[in-house]
Structure 1
Amino acid sequence: MRKTSPQTGRVGKVVRTCIGCRERVEASTLVRLVAVWESTTLVVTPDLGRSLPGRGAHLHPTERCLELATRRKAWGRAFRTSGPFDLTTMYDLAAPNGSPTGDPRPESEHPLMENR
């Protein structure tokens, strides 16, 4: 949602809500996710280019937010669908507990923050 300022007419920053921690932040700090059907399950896949079709959800690239989203059962609501969700790819890529990267690499080099 881009809103223009009535005073300047400039476009503001895009704000999205993390489905894990529910924090509203600038979209560039979150990873867009899409659910892709593979046989009988929905595979939650990061959309690094922000161009895959379908309804997207946004999540901080941390293990903490991934676990919160799973505990809150936010996947079905975020994608507006039901069914078994395969989160294997997400757990492989998420950074441990609250650290944006979980390792000494800068955030811009984290696998989920590529192509930004």
Structure 2
Amino acid sequence: MMAEREDDRKAPERTCVATRTVRPAEELIRFVRAPDGSVVPDLKRELPGRGVWVTATADAVRIAVKRKAFARGLKESATVDPGIDVAVDELIERHALAMLGFANKAGRVICGFAKVEAALLKEPVIALIEAQDAGADGVRKLAQAWTRTGKSAPARVLRLFRTSQLDLALGRSNVVHAALLAGPVSAAFLARCNALARYRGVSDGLDQAEAAGSNAASGEEPAETDKA
């Protein structure tokens, strides 16, 4: 039994029970049967017992639910919450926001439109964090400010969280624009953002900044921009 558990957790590739495709373990989510018989996600791959693996996207999780693939893969009866795809999204999101909080405590996050704009000129900014409800005009202006720095890499713009979520993670109010500075904890935060964006099937890169700029050009009314 122990060997089976080790194989389940450490194998470099696993088969998705929803799509039957073989993928690197990093591209899948492990699920296990809890003592009460419910199926729960095991993002850290630490929970004991037999696991089943699903491609790390909401679509694949929904397919697994529809096809009753969890019980089949676990080889025993199991209760699956019909909204487990949403629960997984919220869990990945919480992990990302928690890591953002750690990055902030490490001094790797700068908040406020004016401070972010200034940081682009003198700090090792690796990404811009924009609230989902940020005004398109502010997003466009900061993307343009990044371009003016002459940096070879295009601006990475993260638009995965609402202002209220950023407020809680960073311990301040009305966080609309923030800059992420280089550092190990920042890299860990970006890895979690990658997982969240992949799960949602969205892009969190330059194309979103360009789309926001197009909205502003079309006359869309921007939301209030923080000036801290």
Unmatched tracts of structure 1, length 5 or more: 2-12, 96-102
Aligned-residue RMSD, C-alpha:
2.8
Match of 1:74 in 2: 69
Larger radius of gyration: 2
Q: Residues 21-43 of structure 1, C-alpha deviation per residue, up to 9 Å, x if partnerless?
A: 111111111111111032xxx22
Superimposed CA distance per residue, residues 9-54 of structure 1 (whole angstroms, 9 cap, x where no aligned partner): xxxx71101111111111111111111032xxx2221212212110
Which is strand-richer, 1 or 2?
A: 1
DSSP 3-state at the match of 1:49: coil
TM-score (norm 2): 0.34
The range that moved more, 52-61 or 84-93, is 84-93
Q: Which residue of the partner structure matches residue 98 of structure 2?
A: none
Q: Please show how residues 1-116 of structure 1 align to structure 2 within 5 Å.
A: 14-38=12-36, 42-94=37-89, 104-105=159-160, 108-109=192-193, 110=195
Q: CA deviation at 1:108?
A: 2.8
Unaligned runs of 5+ in 2: 1-6, 91-157, 161-189, 199-228
Aligned residues, how many?
91
Give the letter for the 1:21 counterpart: T
- Regions of 4+ moved over 6 Å: none
- Asked which structure has the greater RCO (Cα within 8 Å, sep 6+), the reply is 1
Q: Which moved more, 1:18-27 or 1:75-84?
A: 75-84
3-state SS, counterpart of residue 53 of structure 1: coil
Residues 89 and 68 of structure 1, relative CA distance in 2, 3 Å threshold: closer
* Greater share of helix: 2
